[in-house]
Structures are given as structure tokens and as C-alpha cells.
Amino acid sequence: MGIHAIALAIGCSRQELSFKLGDLCLCGRRVTRLNDQQLLRYSRQILLPQIGIEGQERLFAAKVLIIGLGGLGSPVALYLAAAGVGELLLADFDCVDVSNLQRQIIHSSQDHGKLKVDSAADTLRQLNPEVKVERIAQAMAGTQLQQAVAHADLVMDCSDNFATRFAVNQACALAQKPLISAAVIRMEGQLGVFWPGRSDSPCYRCLYPEGEEGGESCSQTGILASLPGVLGCLQATEALKLLAGLAVPIGQVVLFDALSSQWRMVRLPKDPACPICSDHAWSAP
């Protein structure tokens, strides 16, 4: 399919498309490695002036580690694959249970009993065969976690417990990799973008000093089906912006209360006594 067909598909003339994609090779000013099928597939995104060909190429070149293929990891993996992120590294040791299906939309009824990374990889292959998908069917800790984080350009924490979140935060701090972390419970959710190495960025440990975290889980308290979808989509949105080179909200936490339909943005200063990210209190994993 040629550029003319792409122009037809998105409802404009070839000249208009050439103008909108002004940095495309059509004009002889810049060569892109994207073929016509890719230009068509991602055309709605490429047409955004903030993304363009350059942003799409950045997404193609990106490697993202997704920790947890549950309620948050489902929309995160689906949208990053759909958007054309080049490589997704999926990490989850668990298998699909029937009680997951109310909110973990990357899995289906026929996946019951399968490893979540296998079930998710199958779904992503159907959605976008161009995306390279790697699987880690183990709990993420120690050397395994450090190696996976080191391989990635960006880490998405979609896990469901504080021990994993703290370990992931520490590994990201050590490897100086950006981390987008979200959490949901009952009818509440939160999201934070952390970028170790940036002077203005706190870390996840700054949000929860040791001993102040809660120990509740969805299996104990319940969770509204669509809530991880809301926060997971927000997480994926910040990921696409970050990978495409756009500004992301570092140093603030987004809080969503589904019951009252209220959003709040809370500034999160760097904790000068943080054992992970402060200048004088580094603790290696």
C-alpha cells in the first residue's frame, strides 16, 4: 500500500498528508525506516505534531519492562503494543485464575490455568505481530530483576504488593532507569512517574517511608473492575509520552477516587533522608 492509500484511509489528499508529515521522506528532507504499512497503522499517532515520524521511530526502538500482567499490566501491555513500542518484556510468575477475569482484560476464559505471561503474549501477538515480546515467568527479585531493568529503557510497575514495588524502585534507582508506578485498591488508585538521576525526581520510597506502607490486597478488600483500566491507561499514556520524548509529570502523584469521581495531584518532594535516592544515604540492593 502506498502513501496515496494512506492519505485516502485517513481522509485527506496526498498533498495534505505530505504537508502534515512534513518531515517525511516524501519531501526529500528526511528518510524514515517506517514502511507504508507501518505509516498507515500508526498514522493517527504520527499525525500528532508532538509525536510525528520521529516520535514513532522512538517508540519502535524502545524496550519496556512490564512487571505484573494483572489489572494494570493488561491495559499497559495492550496499549504499548498497539502504539508500536518495539519490545515488551513481560514479567509475572502467576497463572490465570477465574477471579482475575473481572478486570485483567488481556486474559480470556480459555486462558484459565495458563501462565499469565503466555496468555498475555498470545493476546499481544494477535493485536500487533510486529512487537517483539519476551517472557519472564518468575517472581522479580535480586539479579533477575536487576538484569531485566538494565535491559529496558523504561519500567512499568504494575505489581500488586509493596515488597515488589520497593524492590523495583531500588533496581530502577541503581540502573538509573525511569519508572512509572501505579497502584489500585477498592475504588482508589494512584500513579507516579519517577526518573532516577534527575535532580527534581523523588522515588517511590520517598512516597512511602519504611513502615508506613499498608499491607492490603485486592483479594482482601475487593476492587472495581474498571479501576485498574483507568490507572493502567494513564500509566500507558505517560509511558508513550516519555518514550516519544515529551515531558512527563515528574515529582507529583496522581490520586483518583472513583467513588467521588475526584482527581487530585499531589506534589511529592524528594525525601532528603530517603535510603534510596538521597545524596548521602544510598543503600545498594
**Interface with Zn ion (CB under 5 A):** 203, 205-206, 274, 276-277
Name the residue nearer to Zn ion (CB basis): 223 or 268.
Answer: 268
Name the residue nearer to Zn ion (CB basis): 7 or 182.
Answer: 182
Q: Is 142 left (phi over 0), alpha (psi -120 to 50) or beta?
A: left
218, 233, 274, 277: the active-site residue: 218
Backbone angles phi, psi at 250, to 5 degrees: -80, 140
Please, what is the minimum distance in Å from the beta carbon of residue 250 to Zn ion? 12
Please, what is the minimum distance in Å from the beta carbon of residue 215 to Zn ion? 21
Beta-strand relationship, 262-267 and 132-136: unpaired
Whether residue 229 contacts residue 186, with contact meaning beta carbons closer than 8 Å, is answered with: no
Q: Where are the alpha helices (DSSP H) in the chain?
A: 3-9, 14-20, 36-41, 43-46, 52-61, 73-82, 116-127, 142-151, 162-175, 204-207, 218-221, 227-244
Please, what is the minimum distance in Å from the beta carbon of residue 58 to Zn ion? 27
Active site residue 218: yes
Nearest Cα neighbor of 113 from 131, 135, 98 is 98
Please, what is the minimum distance in Å from the beta carbon of residue 151 to Zn ion? 23
Name the residue nearer to Zn ion (CB basis): 171 or 277.
Answer: 277
User: Which residues are annotated as catalytic?
Assistant: 218
